Amino acid sequence: MTTRSDQIEAFDRLLTIMDELREQCPWDKKQTLQTLRHLTIEETYELGDAILDNDFEEIKKELGDLLLHIVFYAKIGSETNDFDIADVANGICEKLINRHPHIYGDVKVKDEEDVKRNWETIKLKEGKKSVLEGVPNSLPALVKANRIQEKVAGVGFDWEKPEQVFEKLEEELAEFQDEVKAENRAKMEAEFGDVLFSMVNYARFLDINPENALERTNKKFIGRFQFLEKKAKEAGKSLKELSLAEMDVFWEEAKSTEY
């Protein structure tokens, strides 16, 4: 690993390059906070993929792309005299110090749950009107549900045991099935949402990240289905020409591989 002076030198090099690109490159000169936004979201998802794949080389590259975006935003902010990279760094430093009084103050904590509760309490003291203000509206619904539950749990609004959450899940499933039998489309959707919300809550109690779990299953399914497509092609058939029994044979074969 590099030394702290090497790290500072590397960051200074990036800042210098950003200055040069902003001044000399036609594309970089045109960018605004708004034009970079969707690219930043894309880069964040690419980092997420690399993390799920446990690919450290790709993680390093994607972190570099995100770091570039942070520096880019700060450069634009400095041009309008609103903020620069020092303001960004100092701002997060002050926030971390303020929200870790058990490290930088005299507050005592027993475990990470105490830390989470203190964090949410401090945010309210900073002027937040609701513990849910920090949940972005544009988050995907599954991620948002998880964050909502984490936030409210941080101030004590939570179940005591996983068994209670599972009982709630079973209750929601029963209510969903009642609406399915009644063929009430609007209520079916509402109850299905309750089922998903309860599943996310149960996953939280089991220390499972629902977004990661579902994405791993997506990747697993894609791998198995593409294996099935490959086998069908090798047999000289299209998928539509295969019977369900034939598909099942290939599917089971896929499950026995690394897919």
Question: What end-to-end distance do the CA atoms of the chain give, in Å?
Answer: 34
Burial class (CB in 10 A: 0-12, 13-18, 19+), 151: buried
pLDDT tens digits, 206-216: 999 999 999 99
Residue with tokens 């959707």: 189
Query: Distance between CA atoms of 185 and 40, rounded to whole angstroms?
Result: 37
Q: Which of 86, 204, 216 is nearest to 148 (CA)?
A: 204
Q: How many helices (H) and strands (E) does the chain have?
A: 12, 0
Query: Distance between CA atoms of 71 and 85, rounded to whole angstroms?
Result: 7
Buried b (16+ CB within 10 A) or exposed e, 196-213: bbbbbbbbbbeeeebbee
What is the reported pLDDT for 112? 87
pLDDT 10s digit of each residue in the chain, 259 long? 899 999 999 999 999 999 999 999 999 999 999 999 999 999 999 999 999 899 999 999 999 999 999 999 999 999 999 999 999 999 999 999 999 999 999 999 889 888 988 888 888 788 778 889 889 888 899 999 999 999 898 888 999 999 999 999 999 999 999 999 999 999 999 999 999 999 999 999 999 999 999 999 999 999 999 998 998 899 888 888 888 998 998 899 988 876 4
CB of 119 within 8 A of CB of 100? no
Query: Distance between CA atoms of 251 and 254, rounded to whole angstroms?
Result: 5
Model confidence pTM above 0.75: no
What is the reported pLDDT for 258? 63
